Every structure is written in C-alpha cells, then in structure tokens.
Amino acid sequence: GRKWTEVGLVNESLKDKTVLVRGRIQTTRPVGKNIGFLVLREKGFTLQCVLTVADNLVSRQTVKFATSLSKESHVDIEGIVSVPDAPIKGATQQVELQVRKIYGISRALPTLPINIDDAARSEVDIEKALQGGEQLVRVNQDTRLNFRVLDLRTPANQGIFRIQCQVENEVPTVWQNDHRVVYTVVPYMEELRGADLIFRQFLLSEGFVGIHTPKLIAGSSEGGASVFRLDYKGRPACLAQSPQLHKQMAICGDLGRVFEIGPVFRAEDSFTHRHLCEFTGLDAEMEIKEHYSEVMDVVDRLFVAMFDSLNENCKKELEAIGKQYPFEPLKYLRKTLRLTFEEGVQMLKEAGVEVDPLGDLNTEVERKLGKLVLEKYDTEFYILHRYPLAVRPFYTMPAYDNPAYSNSFDVFIRGEEIISGAQRVHVPELLSTRAEGLGIDLKSIETYIDAFRYGAPPHGGFGVGLERVVMLFCALNNIRKTSLFPRDPQRITP
C-alpha cells in the first residue's frame, strides 16, 4: 500500500517530501485557467493545496476538474509539501501542498441543504454580518438536526463529541505538533492512576465493576408517566427509564460496586432545552458502610478529576466550541461544596424567594440558587443533599433522624441538575410500603423487592446524564447540541 499522512500532520518537518492525504473539499478557487487553490479538511484540520500547470505539475484539465469539484466532496491528493513566505489564512496548517495528482472519491451534491461555513458561525458574528448587509441564511436548530451529518462537521460539533467521549473515557492521547494522536490501546491502569481519570477509568480504579443491565423490563424503574410501553411477546413491558432496579440487584448479587454507561429511555411530555426521550446514562451503585456521604465522596472525586482532565486534555476542543458558542470556564472547587436542602431553602429565603421547605425546587428556583451559591461560595458545581422524602422516588432511603427528609442528593452545574443520587431502601418491607404508597403496582416489581429478602447490604448510588454534563460544562443552551442524533417528543429521525 501507499503511505498515507493525516492532514493535521502535514507540517514543516515534511518540507519537499511527497505526501498522500484524503479529505473533504472545504473551498475551491480557480485563478485563471492555469492556477487553482483548494482547501482540504480532515478531522477539523485544513490544508491549502495549490494546482499549477507550471513545471508540468498538473494539466489545465486537472486544474479545471479540481476547482469545479463540489464542496464537501471527498478527494485523495498526492503532492509536495512547500513552505510559503507569508502566513496562510483560512487553513490550520502553515504549509502548502503542491498538487501532483488528485482523485475524486465521493462527490457531494452541488448544493447542500446546509452551508457548513454559515453553520459554524457564532450568533455575534451572524448579527454583525447581517447588519453589514451580507447575504446569509441563518441555520436554525431544526434544520441542523434534520441534516445532522452535515451539521456535525462544524468545528464546535467536532469538539462537542470528542469531549463527550472524553467524559466517558480517559482517552490516552499524545500531541504531535498540535495534532492529537489518539491511542486506542489503553496503557497500564497504574500509569493512568491519579487526578486525571474520568468516568470509566476513574470508577474502575476505585474498584467498580462495569455491568450491562436489560433495557427491556417488566415494570417501570422510576415510576411516573414517562415510560415507553411495549409488547413483550404478549406481555406488557417497558423500555428501561434507568438501570436503577437492576444495578441495585447487582449489589444484592455481591458485585460490591458497579457502574454502567448505557441508553436510558424517557417518554417525556415536556419539550424543553434539557429533556430528551433517549439519553446516555452514567450510573453507579455501591455498598455503603456508614453514611450516604460515601456516595457523595465518589461523585466529588470523580467530577473534580473529570473537569481537570477536560480542561487539561481538551483545550483544542473547548476552544473550537467557544469560538461558536462563547462561554466562561466552569468554576469548581477542589473539594465540592455540599449544602443541605434546608440550607438551600434558607439561602433562597434570605434572597426573598419563598419555597415550600418540603417540596421540590423548580428549574427557575434551581437556577436562582445556583446564582446565590456562585456569589457566596465562588463555585458553579455543588451538591444539594437531604431532600424532602416526598419528592424522591420510592426506592429512596428516608433520613434516620427525620423521615420527612431523605438520604438523597442532586448535583448541579451552573444551576442545572446533572445528577441525582441517594442511599436506597434495602429493607423489603419498607420498600413495599413505600412503593404501594406511591401507587406502584407491586406485582411488576415483585422480583426486585424479593432480591432484598435474601440479605442485602446498605447501598446507594447515582445517575448522571452524559448529554447534560457536556451541555452544562460548555454552557450550551440546548441538550440537542450534545446528542449525536437527538430523540425528543417530536423527533425520531435522522
């Protein structure tokens, strides 16, 4: 085979060498009949390619062919690397390729439903352009999602989905002249130990076992109305609203500490900026020795490590996202702030916001509390715990000292919830009473309750929404931006 180079690796060190690259055509520009330019793009890196009939490098026909190719077409180019005197505008690579051969691989439609350059512009930029009289078509969110494979090609989206991957996995990378080289084989875990581990590797390093629970289940796992019902060979069933019941049963099965990264289904009625009908859940469940704060300790260490790692390892991606959607880096403390629900209610009260001390906080109030916490404690990431029992699911453990409260918590980024967690009821009689009281059909969760009749350790855990973490870490305004192919109450394609 021929030797391929990546666009991002074409640099001065290859001066005068012949290289072979594959990429998409970002722009073409003919200059008369004898010269043409095109910018080739691969994984967000761009390279200017020069076609010239001088020195018999290419024919006039090739110049014509290359400069008339439609944007976003895939081509292979063989050429010689040269270093121009002046800096190159409009390309990431500061060298040029003198084209010798060009092959068309896949032709894109001459007119695309989305102009990617326009789709990549920030709101501020677009406003300026419109005021300056520029003709441009604003790409709205629905259009973007309808043609998601094109929308995904913008630098901000390239950044978003690399960050999403990094939230789940510590992707070991090295940098070569600004180019990220990803190693698919994870080096020894020992080398990865330390502050920069994220979800999967972090939990593995703390003794959690990765599991996969069924997504077709008999009873609803979170209760309520947001369940997709289906027919399971003639029996009623649902799509799992969370791995809740089965991750707890894994603990009853002596797995000690477990985690799962998997799909979660919610038949949401509300069409909001933060609800999807299918999202990726990062779930953990563990035995507890003394107190539910052990679970919050894990959350604390995990997320501080995750944020550190994202800031350290995803600088390029964060920069690309910030260019289109400007945002301030997340403020977080080395040791995550914990407030009790009562303290939160008190802070709100002092700020003139009255809430039911035993009720739930609505989105607006949560945001308000986020602002108050930021002012007082200088952090945008914190844990609110000891929620009123009445607003938590049936499997939540009541507080030992006061059953109006519970051993539970929510975690917030920039005033919005990303996690809920709790100690669970491991006493079968109490579990039945709680479920019954909330009108849950006991028959449908019988085997779950039975699981606690064979001896079950105290335990607790938490569930994180992956799309929400990325959305809020980057201060994006809509969860659809961080879902590859979002599913919401109105959308099931593409």
Tell me the catalytic residues.
266, 268, 274-275, 417, 420, 468
d(CA 160, CA 466): 12
* 488 binds ligand 4AD, rule: CB under 6 A: no
* 420 binds ligand 4AD, rule: CB under 6 A: yes
* 220 binds ligand 4AD, rule: CB under 6 A: no
Q: Within 248-267, which residues bind ligand 4AD (CB under 6 A)?
A: 266
Distances (CA, A) of 325 to 131, 317, 382: 20, 12, 24
- Radius of gyration of the CA atoms of the chain, in A: 27
Q: Which stretch binds ligand 4AD (CB under 6 A): 92-100, 113-121, 278-286, 450-458?
A: 278-286
Please, what is the minimum distance in Å from the beta carbon of residue 266 to ligand 4AD?
A: 4
Please, what is the minimum distance in Å from the beta carbon of residue 244 to ligand 4AD?
A: 4
Q: Which stretch binds ligand 4AD (CB under 6 A): 192-200, 344-352, 374-382, 420-428?
A: 420-428
Q: Which stretch binds ligand 4AD (CB under 6 A): 69-77, 206-214, 275-283, 308-316?
A: 275-283
- State the number of binding residues for ligand 4AD (CB under 6 A): 24
* 154 binds ligand 4AD, rule: CB under 6 A: no
* 242 binds ligand 4AD, rule: CB under 6 A: yes
Q: Which stretch binds ligand 4AD (CB under 6 A): 77-85, 328-336, 339-347, 415-423?
A: 415-423
Please, what is the minimum distance in Å from the beta carbon of residue 368 to ligand 4AD?
A: 19
Verify cis geometry, omega within 30 degrees of 0, for the bond prior to 393: no
* 238 binds ligand 4AD, rule: CB under 6 A: no
Cβ proximity to ligand 4AD, 125 vs 222, nearer residue: 222
Cβ proximity to ligand 4AD, 268 vs 366, nearer residue: 268
Please, what is the minimum distance in Å from the beta carbon of residue 187 to ligand 4AD?
A: 31
* 275 binds ligand 4AD, rule: CB under 6 A: yes
Q: Which stretch binds ligand 4AD (CB under 6 A): 31-39, 186-194, 274-282, 298-306?
A: 274-282
* 213 binds ligand 4AD, rule: CB under 6 A: no
Please, what is the minimum distance in Å from the beta carbon of residue 213 to ligand 4AD?
A: 11
* Amino acid identity for residue 467 in this structure: E
Identify which of 363, 370, 425, 428 has the alpha carbon closest to the alpha carbon of residue 392: 425
* 360 binds ligand 4AD, rule: CB under 6 A: no
Cβ proximity to ligand 4AD, 67 vs 220, nearer residue: 220
* 416 binds ligand 4AD, rule: CB under 6 A: no
* 465 binds ligand 4AD, rule: CB under 6 A: yes
| 145 CB neighbour count, 10 Å cutoff | 18
14's tokens:
């290859």
Q: Which of 168, 206, 222, 308 binds ligand 4AD (CB under 6 A)?
A: 222
* 282 binds ligand 4AD, rule: CB under 6 A: no
Please, what is the minimum distance in Å from the beta carbon of residue 262 to ligand 4AD?
A: 12
276's tokens:
């999807």
* 23 binds ligand 4AD, rule: CB under 6 A: no
* 413 binds ligand 4AD, rule: CB under 6 A: no
* 244 binds ligand 4AD, rule: CB under 6 A: yes
Binding mask 387-406 for ligand 4AD (x = CB under 6 A): --------------------
* 419 binds ligand 4AD, rule: CB under 6 A: yes
* 125 binds ligand 4AD, rule: CB under 6 A: no
Three-state SS letters, the chain: CCCCCCHHHCCHHHCCCEEEEEEEEEEEEEECCCEEEEEEEECCEEEEEEEECHHHCCCHHHHHHHHCCCCCCEEEEEEEEECCCCCCCCCCCCCEEEEEEEEEEECCCCCCCCCHHHHCCCHHHHHHHHHCCCCCCCCCHHHHHHCHHHHCCCHHHHHHHHHHHHHHCCCCEEEECCEEEECCCCCCHHHHCCCCCCHHHHHHHCCCEECCCCCEECCCCCCCCCCCEEEECCEEEEECCCCHHHHHHHHHCCCCEEEEEEEEECCCCCCCCCCCCEEEEEEEEEECCCCCHHHHHHHHHHHHHHHHHHHHHCHHHHHHHHHHCCCCCCCCCCCCEEEEHHHHHHHHHHCCCCCCCCCCCCHHHHHHHHHHHHHHHCCCEEEEECCEHHHCCCCECECCCCCCEECEEEEEECCEEEEEEEEECCCHHHHHHHHHHCCCCHHHHHHHHHHHHHCCCCEEEEEEEHHHHHHHHCCCCCHHHHCCCCCECCECCC
Question: Where on the chain is the footprint of ligand 4AD (CB under 6 A)?
Answer: 222, 242, 244, 266, 268, 275-276, 279, 281, 283, 417-422, 461-465, 467-468, 479
